[in-house]
Chain A
Amino acid sequence: MKRVYVNEKWCLGCHLCEYYCAFAGTNETDMARALKDIKINPKIKIEEHGDISFAVSCRHCDEPLCVKGCITGALTKKDGVITIDKERCIHCYTCILCCPFGAVSPSEDGAIQKCELCVKNSAGVPQCVRGCPNAAIVFEERG
């Protein structure tokens, strides 16, 4: 299955992935209109310290602890993609505590949010990958 992989070696810490991610979530057509004067809350986040930086988003684990921990069945794995059903989320944040990567976070409406590989928005393909200027984030099939 194709997944988003990040390569710390090529990450410039430019944070563009975060903005493309936030933009993808809005389903707007113009980024300036969508993100002007907004503090973004992206599903991919840059971790950085000194000269080292890399992007972190959901790994879509083979044995996902967040799905295991979800008490309402809001998190499910479908065709390899772990998705969230916001209607069922009761904001208990067990998944946030479970995720060893810190890839799950609360959204503005209280329900949790996580990378769903842009399958649910109008973009269709992961926008962090498309927006990365140095191919540090790739969307590919690996063994």
Chain B
Amino acid sequence: MAVDYIYPDYEIVRNYDRCITCRVCERQCANEAHRYLEDENKMICDDAKCVNCHRCVSLCPTKALKIVKTDHCFKDNANWSGKTIKEIYKQAGSGGVLLSSMGTPENYPVYFDKILLNASQVTNPPIDPLREPMETKVFLGSKSQTVRRDANGRLITDMPPHISLSMPIMFSAMSYGSISYNAHESLARAAEKLGILYNTGEGGLHEDFYKYGASTIVQVASGRFGVHVDYLNSGAAVEIKMGQGAKPGIGGHLPGKKIVGDISKTRMIPEGSDAISPAPHHDIYSIEDLRQLVFSLKEATGYKKPVIVKIAAVHNVSAIASGIARSGADIIAIDGFRGGTGAAPTRIRDNVGIPIELALASVDQRLRNEGIRDQVSIVVGGSIRSSADIVKAVALGADCVYIGTSALLALGCHLCRSCQTGKCNWGIATQREDLVKRLNPNVGYERLVNLVSAWQHEIKEMMGGMGINSIESLKGNRLMLRGVGLNEKELEILGIRHAGE
């Protein structure tokens, strides 16, 4: 067995001068990394079990713990990194596909970090959002392209269905099953309070949450789990999930052991059966097929709910988006390659898809060129990390953003990227009852409300600085953006100028 040994990536460092052996670390670690030695009245730990989730560190009342990256190493090699070597050992031992969770940690360029915002000076005054009105409200859906009047010359105001949001932010799709009941409750209540929407993901909607219907996007994905007519009509919008940024071209698989009790009921599948979402929708092989599903869902919801089509950002995303706009969808959601996941094959997550900033810019431009931009709203997701990312996304052409990882961080996630183990110490990505209760929705919902409200303040500050008092005036306003350290091609795709130009 010793030949299989891989030295742990992280080490738990305990300051024994500060440890009072209260054993909270031991009680709170679902990975059982800490142990109490009765005879010595001493805590010990097993670094190999640590996933670096910081639960023990955060709860230790005397701050006696920290987790450090090990300085144990392989011989330096720019080509064969320690990570690569360990992955090979792991696969040589298991014969399996490597699994990962959350967004890719790999070092790809983050274009948001290479884009800077403008501000007004002298000739066009900035606006102080604390003293003057500042509008962040957005409406998502197909916009009328012509002014129509009736026989008496009165305006015809029958608009296609829209979603109204207090700010251009929604919580992205995370299914009940991949995240816990309490995490869902926190998201639902926060969305209601904030005047925004959350998304059921593809696991159906728990019966307790139908009351938050007006704040819910109900998703229809390739597995069609939990889909029935009341479900479709319970939400504010219906989303067809074609792809996910973390795993474009890949389906999903929730193991049978997680399909228990309420999850089985909500997903409408027998307890213990694997929930397999196929990679494709087996009834969609063309834009025409997609159009059929879009209109089936509109028919089922009496044409009262906008239909969103969500795709992963892939190489020919703008052509696909053009097709989606023509399929009758009201909103296109694009998920960038940094988007999160409860579990994805590592190689897919780390190597497939394109950055959301480039995808967004090219989709917005393509739809504008084709004169169909007003037919659809664009929502982008895939690692929106701050209000600045949102402002930049809106200026690049997005109507709204989806936030997933940021929302989970607000709920306590420490990005240890071990969701696939089902032993989330923060009560988020788990169904183990003793762990789920660690996330008190009364606390979780308040933290989500705090985060999003704070971002709204910041969005207003940044808009004010640019002399813009309505988010609609910022949309697609790429003159407010400048690139730094970007080459000609990147600037061309983003449709922005270089700083100094």
Q: List residues of chain A with CB under 8 Å of any chain B CB.
A: 9-10, 12-16, 18-20, 23, 30-32, 35-38, 51, 131, 133-136
User: Known: A32-B18, A135-B443. Contact between A12 and B62, CB under 8 A?
Assistant: no
Measured between beta carbons, the chain A residues less than 8 angstroms from B61 are 16, 19-20, 23, 31, 131
Task: Please tell me if the beta carbons of B438 and A36 are within 8 angstroms of each other in the complex.
Answer: no
Measured between beta carbons, the chain B residues less than 8 angstroms from A135 are 440, 442-443
Task: Please tell me if the beta carbons of A31 and B440 are within 8 angstroms of each other in the complex.
Answer: no
Task: Please tell me if the beta carbons of B438 and A13 are within 8 angstroms of each other in the complex.
Answer: no
Given the complex of chains A and B, what is the CA–CA distance between A36 and B62 in angstroms? 10
Task: Please tell me if the beta carbons of A134 and B434 are within 8 angstroms of each other in the complex.
Answer: no
Give min CB distance, B322 to chain A, whole Å. Answer: 49
Set A9, A14, A38, A51: member contacting B24, Cβ < 8 A: A14
Is B64's CB within 8 Å of the partner chain A?
yes
Chain B residues 186 to 234 lying within 8 A of chain A, measured CB to CB, are: none
Measured between beta carbons, the chain B residues less than 8 angstroms from A31 are 20, 61-62
Q: List residues of chain B with CB under 8 Å of any chain A CB.
A: 17-20, 22-24, 27-28, 41, 58-59, 61-62, 64, 433-434, 437-438, 440, 442-443
Q: A15-B27, A19-B24 are in contact. List 20 more A-B contacts (CB 8 A).
A: A15-B22, A16-B24, A16-B59, A19-B20, A19-B61, A20-B61, A31-B61, A32-B18, A32-B20, A36-B18, A36-B19, A36-B20, A37-B41, A133-B59, A134-B437, A134-B438, A134-B440, A134-B443, A135-B443, A136-B440
Set A10, A12, A35: member contacting B20, Cβ < 8 A: A35
Measured between beta carbons, the chain B residues less than 8 angstroms from A51 are 433-434
Give min CB distance, B434 to chain A, whole Å. Answer: 6
Task: Please tell me if the beta carbons of A14 and B59 are within 8 angstroms of each other in the complex.
Answer: yes
Measured between beta carbons, the chain A residues less than 8 angstroms from B41 are 37
Given the complex of chains A and B, what is the CA–CA distance between A9 and B443 in angstroms? 14
Measured between beta carbons, the chain A residues less than 8 angstroms from B433 are 51
Give min CB distance, A138 to chain B, whole Å. Answer: 9
Task: Please tell me if the beta carbons of A15 and B440 are within 8 angstroms of each other in the complex.
Answer: no
Given the complex of chains A and B, what is the CA–CA distance between A31 and B59 in angstroms? 13
User: Known: A10-B437, A20-B61, A133-B59. Contact between A15 and B24, CB under 8 A?
Assistant: yes
Q: Chain A binding site: helix, strand, loop or mixed by DSSP?
A: loop
Q: Which residue of A lies closest to B441 (CB)?
A: A10
Measured between beta carbons, the chain A residues less than 8 angstroms from B20 are 19, 31-32, 35-38
Measured between beta carbons, the chain B residues less than 8 angstroms from A36 are 17-20
Given the complex of chains A and B, what is the CA–CA distance between A7 and B17 in angstroms? 34
Task: Please tell me if the beta carbons of B22 and A16 are within 8 angstroms of each other in the complex.
Answer: yes
Give min CB distance, A59 to chain B, whole Å. Answer: 22
Given the complex of chains A and B, what is the CA–CA distance between A120 and B415 in angstroms? 42
Measured between beta carbons, the chain B residues less than 8 angstroms from A136 are 440
Given the complex of chains A and B, what is the CA–CA distance between A19 and B63 in angstroms? 13
Measured between beta carbons, the chain B residues less than 8 angstroms from A30 are 62
Given the complex of chains A and B, what is the CA–CA distance between A134 and B27 in angstroms? 14
Measured between beta carbons, the chain A residues less than 8 angstroms from B19 are 32, 36
Set A9, A10, A12, A20: member contacting B28, Cβ < 8 A: A12
Q: Which residue of A lies closest to B64 (CB)?
A: A32
Given the complex of chains A and B, what is the CA–CA distance between A38 and B18 in angstroms? 12
Measured between beta carbons, the chain B residues less than 8 angstroms from A32 are 17-20, 62, 64
Given the complex of chains A and B, what is the CA–CA distance between A69 and B72 in angstroms? 65
Please list 11 pairs of residues, one from A and one from B, whose beta carbons are closer than 8 Å in the complex, sorted by A's number: A9-B437, A12-B438, A13-B27, A16-B59, A16-B61, A18-B22, A20-B61, A30-B62, A31-B62, A32-B64, A35-B62
Given the complex of chains A and B, what is the CA–CA distance between A118 and B172 in angstroms? 43
Task: Please tell me if the beta carbons of B59 and A10 are within 8 angstroms of each other in the complex.
Answer: no
Given the complex of chains A and B, what is the CA–CA distance between A131 and B22 in angstroms? 13
Given the complex of chains A and B, what is the CA–CA distance between A15 and B27 in angstroms? 9
Measured between beta carbons, the chain A residues less than 8 angstroms from B18 are 32, 36
Task: Please tell me if the beta carbons of B22 and A12 are within 8 angstroms of each other in the complex.
Answer: no
Q: Which residue of A lies closest to B55 (CB)?
A: A133
Given the complex of chains A and B, what is the CA–CA distance between A79 and B102 in angstroms? 53
Given the complex of chains A and B, what is the CA–CA distance between A134 and B61 in angstroms? 14
6 nearest CB pairs, A to B: A32-B18, A32-B62, A35-B20, A10-B440, A31-B62, A134-B440
Given the complex of chains A and B, what is the CA–CA distance between A9 and B433 in angstroms? 11
Set A15, A38, A134: member contacting B23, Cβ < 8 A: A15
Give min CB distance, A112 to chain B, whole Å. Answer: 24
Set B28, B62, B440: member contacting A14, Cβ < 8 A: B28
Measured between beta carbons, the chain A residues less than 8 angstroms from B64 are 32
Measured between beta carbons, the chain A residues less than 8 angstroms from B443 are 134-135
Q: Which residue of B lies closest to A38 (CB)?
A: B20
Give min CB distance, B414 to chain A, whole Å. Answer: 14
Give min CB distance, A1 to chain B, whole Å. Answer: 22
Task: Please tell me if the beta carbons of A12 and B437 are within 8 angstroms of each other in the complex.
Answer: yes
Measured between beta carbons, the chain B residues less than 8 angstroms from A37 are 20, 41
Measured between beta carbons, the chain B residues less than 8 angstroms from A14 are 24, 27-28, 59
Measured between beta carbons, the chain B residues less than 8 angstroms from A12 are 27-28, 434, 437-438
Give min CB distance, A8 to chain B, whole Å. Answer: 10
Measured between beta carbons, the chain B residues less than 8 angstroms from A35 are 20, 22, 62
Q: Which residue of A lies closest to B16 (CB)?
A: A36
